[in-house]
Amino acid sequence: MTSTTKIAESTVKPTTGVDPHDIAGIILTGHGNGLYLADEFGNQVRNGIVSSDSRAQPIVDRWINDGSFQEKCQPVTLQSLFAGGPLAILAWISENKNLARSYKLLMDEVWCKKYANQSHIRDMRKCTVGLVGVGNIGSRVAKRLAGFESRVIAYDPYLRPEQVEELGIERVETLEELLAQSDFVSLHMRISEDTHHMINADALALMKPTAYLVNTARADLVDEEALAGALSDHRIGGAAIDVYADEPLAEDHPTSAWTTSR
């Protein structure tokens, strides 16, 4: 599940007016290295750390003191850090309105008059969007959804009451409850033993037959074989998937038949 984010300050001052509680400086990875936040020109924005592990701060302090910081940490821009939020929204609009599919068909000189999801192309104002995970990306998606006038529900064991009020969303207690209510299910979880293949055959069976699954987070959140089966049998309305276990996608991948034709 998502982890509580802890930001520990270092002795180096930010070089821009960035809110440290809004933007993190260093994301400590599981490979013993990290990422530091940079602007579009590669200039370091700030030193700080995002981690649920209090042991991370001494590690980064050591990197700074022994001069290995630049070697250990690689730059990540503001654009790449925040890309997941808009991407998720664009993905489900594209799937719902058949934007990418229409483009592909037109390039193949095919004029499609009726799509497979014709009966359930949704008006966002009348939809329930379910966010699975409300961390850094999930919370940004929730903020952007305010303009769509959608009902937004969220499942995240670490979601705080003040976040619910601030984001204007509704909290549900279980993933099952979210899946049953949502017209769009958008994944924003990290990978762990608990979240690996959290969207499996049983989970997909709980979704509405007109609902869409969106995954711009981690490939292993979804059982790809189960998803292919749900799409093939028309048990869900559609899926917009940006991440796969093996990339680039092989021609014989179980979901390949549905990437543009359905």
**Can you give the pLDDT at residue 67?**
65
Instruction: Please give the distance of CA 125 from its chain centroid, rounded to a whole number.
Output: 21
Amino acid at 197: H
Instruction: Please give the distance of CA 144 from its chain centroid, rounded to a whole number.
Output: 13
**Can you give the pLDDT at residue 173?**
96
Q: What does each C-alpha distance from 136 to 3, 103, 204, 246 come to in angstroms?
A: 10, 32, 25, 25
**Can you give the pLDDT at residue 70?**
57
Number of helices (H), then strands (E), in the chain: 10, 11
Q: At residue 93, what are phi and psi to the nearest 5 degrees? A: -65, -45
Region of residue 65 (phi > 0: left; psi between -120 and 50: alpha; otherwise: beta): alpha
Number of CB atoms found within 10 A of residue 126's CB: 10
94 contacts 145 by C-beta, under 8 angstroms: no
**Can you give the pLDDT at residue 68?**
64
**Can you give the pLDDT at residue 256?**
59
Start-to-end C-alpha separation, the chain: 31
195 contacts 219 by C-beta, under 8 angstroms: no
Distance from C-alpha of 142 to C-alpha of 136, rounded to nearest angstrom? 10
Region of residue 44 (phi > 0: left; psi between -120 and 50: alpha; otherwise: beta): beta
Which pLDDT tens digits describe the chain residue by residue (262 residues)? Answer: 322 222 233 333 333 333 333 333 343 333 344 444 444 444 444 444 443 334 445 555 666 667 665 555 554 444 444 455 778 888 888 888 888 888 888 888 888 888 888 888 888 899 999 999 998 889 989 999 988 999 999 999 999 999 999 999 999 999 999 999 999 999 999 999 999 999 999 999 999 999 999 998 899 999 999 999 998 898 999 898 888 888 777 777 776 555 443 3
**Can you give the pLDDT at residue 214?**
93
**Can you give the pLDDT at residue 115?**
85
Beta strand pairing call for 238-241 and 212-215: parallel
Helices (H), the chain: 56-66, 69-72, 78-82, 84-97, 99-107, 136-145, 161-167, 175-181, 201-206, 224-232
211 contacts 185 by C-beta, under 8 angstroms: yes
This prediction has a pTM of 0.68
Distance from C-alpha of 49 to C-alpha of 52, rounded to nearest angstrom? 10
Distance from C-alpha of 87 to C-alpha of 100, rounded to nearest angstrom? 13
